Chains A and B, each alone.
Chain A
């Protein structure tokens, strides 16, 4: 299973083995990664699973779709490497992915 490294808002690093086929948000939530709220459970309806993808990785992910783009616009401190973690599916080539969780979720 690919390993994903989350950096929580407090600075703690969590390395988690992620099963294939689920989303980055689900990995974070199942393991209680702090700051990934994910209220809607992946319906792209709440923008509370916002994360920053390590810039070295950002370009290697499938690009944001229109809906995700619109949701991120009003997220707390969006950046170029912002993503909704519910829209990223775990694949084998994400082994080693580094993800930082913002200090806040919501607008």
Chain B
């Protein structure tokens, strides 16, 4: 009999798990432990409309406080889980409180990868991941302030676009030869680099940062080629690492994330995990993955909640991602690894196009730029393992779903 469920981590996954557990009839004690003091909130706006001030703070939480009261959820927010004793089924918080559980769900998320070069610890070097990271960035983003963004991935580019809108002079330094190189096709990278440059962001690729310098705060960013970039503020967006310390210390299997099976179970039968912190199998794509996305946090938490109540439901979804930069919407569905052919649909110059990834005739992934139609059609086609005709696919006036 499951009478107590603890959820550690108050992000997207933790919030969703609560919802599913109560909706599926779990009537026992439900406790949410989160190290941030706020009610579970949405992270995507932090680099966009919340940073720019267009979105008020009270719009960030998923649910009002009354929702948690109505659903009898004990909130232990601003409280850090310090130690997990899996054999005794006990979780100890940093302040000494010890909680016993029948089932534990770890939704620990991921943390910003830290810069390690000399000067990385100077004041004025910022990361953007949590609500508390935003105010110092906002106060430094005065009109005319020189902002250097290290890393041209989603977070770096979204933040660059927002800082520019706030009136800052923005430089993006990307180590690879193109922006977002790990997640999109070269033509999509090119499109976004051009968008940023047209708006006035100084995007520089092939540029490895070697040191940061300054007196009582960061003033210069120096690169491997000897170039120096003046900075009033440095924002680092060089990826994230799964948060696994609690799990690892308790002896749970971890390997680039907490290792779970398709039922979201860790190596301990009473402990489940969901979201950015997990390394999980993707039956659809035939390999293990670790995904950092709202979609995966949401869906995996739902699956985990069902499974820890004893319903057997494999987590097998086609992942999707999005990014907003200036007035562009990048929509990605599927995983492109293992493709043998890329097909471009439409013309980047027309500002609406998509890139399809095929393995043989099977559609693996689509990157859609301002192309909701292709994106939505692809979500269905990829889930159904649809076989497409690559020649028809290239005719962009033919709907994606007709290219069979």
Contacts and interface: CB of A to CB of B under 8 A. Distances in A.
Interface string B61-72: 111101100110
Contact of A30 (B19, B63, B71, B379): B63
A41 interface: yes
B295 interface: yes
Interface stretch (B258-266, B280-288, B370-378): B370-378
A22 B67 contact: no
B298 interface: yes
Contact of B298 (A29, A39, A71): A39
Contact of B63 (A32, A40, A67): A32
Given A40-B294, A43-B324, A107-B379, A32 B61 contact: no
Contacts of B377: 74
B173 interface: no
Nearest to A72: B376
A31 interface: yes
B44 A73 contact: no
A70 interface: yes
Contacts of B376: 47, 70-71, 73-74, 107
B42 A32 contact: no
B294 A39 contact: yes
B329 interface: yes
Given A39-B298, A70-B373, A31 B379 contact: no
A26 interface: yes
Given A39-B295, A41-B44, A67-B329, A73 B61 contact: no
A45 interface: yes
A40 B322 contact: yes
A88 interface: no
Interface in A26-56: 26, 29-32, 34, 39-41, 43-47
Contacts of B62: 29-30
Give the interface residue-count category, chain A: 20 to 34
B331 interface: yes
Nearest to A38: B62
A18 to B, nearest CB: 12
A62 B163 CA distance: 31
B312 interface: no
Interface in B250-290: none
A34 B63 CA distance: 12
B63 A45 contact: no
A43 B380 contact: no
B379 A43 contact: no
Contacts of A32: 19, 63, 67, 70-71
A48 to B, nearest CB: 9
B348 interface: no
A53 B380 CA distance: 25
Given A22-B59, A41-B44, A43-B322, 11 more contacts: A30-B61, A30-B67, A31-B67, A43-B324, A45-B331, A46-B320, A70-B376, A73-B376, A74-B377, A74-B380, A107-B379
10 contacts: A29-B62, A29-B63, A30-B61, A30-B64, A43-B322, A45-B322, A45-B329, A45-B331, A74-B376, A74-B377
Interface of B: 19, 23, 42, 44-45, 59, 61-64, 66-67, 70-71, 294-295, 298, 320, 322, 324, 329, 331, 372-373, 376-377, 379-380
